[in-house]
Amino acid sequence: MKYIITESKLDMLMTDYMDHVLAGKKVSDGGDVLLIYDDLGEDYEFEEEVSINYTYDDSEMSIRMDLINLFTSMFSRDIEQAKEFIKNWFENKFNLEVGYVDTFESPNF
């Protein structure tokens, strides 16, 4: 069965998805850096836990690639569209300006 979803409805679904992702994670604002991460315990490296990393000095946000991949497969968006949407969501959610968006791979992928 085929469904037609308007762009505004899709934006609402993507926003709800990102809000749901955030609800299951911890947010740490250490002054220089804002991190969105999973607290997986002491058996994991910190880099394995971070999903989004924002640095205040240069307004740069880094998004872990597995989050981008989940987003692109779920909402039929390409990588650049996913990065742009997550950037806009982040700016609205945290009232911060993002100047540059980068991605990173988790060390165990």
- Quick: pLDDT tens for 79-92: 999 999 999 999 99
Neighbours of 44 (CB within 10 A): 13
CA distances from 43 to 36, 46, 85 (A): 19, 10, 32
In a domain, 11, yes or no: yes
- Gap between the Cα atoms of 61 and 6, Å rounded: 28
For 31, which DSSP code? S
In a domain, 54, yes or no: yes
Helices (H) and strands (E) in the chain, counts: 4, 5
pTM for the whole thing? 0.86
Q: How many domains does the chain have?
A: 1
* pLDDT above 70 as % of the chain: 88
In a domain, 52, yes or no: yes
Q: Domain limits at 84?
A: 7-104
